[in-house]
Amino acid sequence: MSALKDQITEDMKTAMRAKDSERLGTIRLLLAALKQKEVDERVVLDDAAVIAIVDKLIKQRKDSLEAFIKAERKDLADKEAAELVVLQAYLPARLSADEVAAAVKAIVAELGASGPGDMGKVMGAVKAKLAGKADMGQVSAAVKAALAG
């Protein structure tokens, strides 16, 4: 069992004792997603897999938040924003834009990639190295910039 999953379970117990229903609901949602992945694939999740699931849930919250803001549904947007804050606490520290660009340039040089045709090869290597440490949208932009220049 992963240390991160243990931490999430402990946070759920703490939220229950504190009667913090919003936080508890978000943590239960996260634990349900983790359990679903374990049952579907018959595996025990490690920290990297847990971070990937948290990342996926955060992306869903951001998309929903954007849609609710466009639809002028402040009540639902506030709920999504609160869930986003709780979920982001389980991610490791993110790399800055400069650190991402430097890592991407190093991987491009290592692979000897050039031009947009090599984007898939570079993204595969970058994803393996930076998963959970950087926003993949930001990484994709950095890869495009590195291959164009």
Please give the residue that has the higher pLDDT: either 24 or 99: 24
pTM summary value: 0.76
The pLDDT value recorded for residue 74 is: 94
Question: Do 55 and 114 share a structural domain?
Answer: no
Chosen domain end from 54, 88, 122: 88
Q: Which two tokens stand for residue 34?
A: 């983790």
Q: Which of 7-11, 18-22, 141-145 has the lowest mean pLDDT?
A: 141-145
Alpha helices in 19-135 (DSSP H): 21-41, 47-70, 74-88, 97-111, 119-130
Q: What is the CATH number of the domain that holds 127?
A: 1.10.10.410
**Residue 72: band (very low, low, confident or very high) from pLDDT cuts 50, 70, 90:** very high
Question: Do 43 and 17 share a structural domain?
Answer: yes
How many domains are contained in the chain?
Answer: 2
Structural domain boundaries enclosing 29? 3-88
**Residue 149: band (very low, low, confident or very high) from pLDDT cuts 50, 70, 90:** low
Question: Do 70 and 16 share a structural domain?
Answer: yes
Question: Do 75 and 108 share a structural domain?
Answer: no
Residue 85 contacts residue 61 (beta carbons within 8 Å)? no
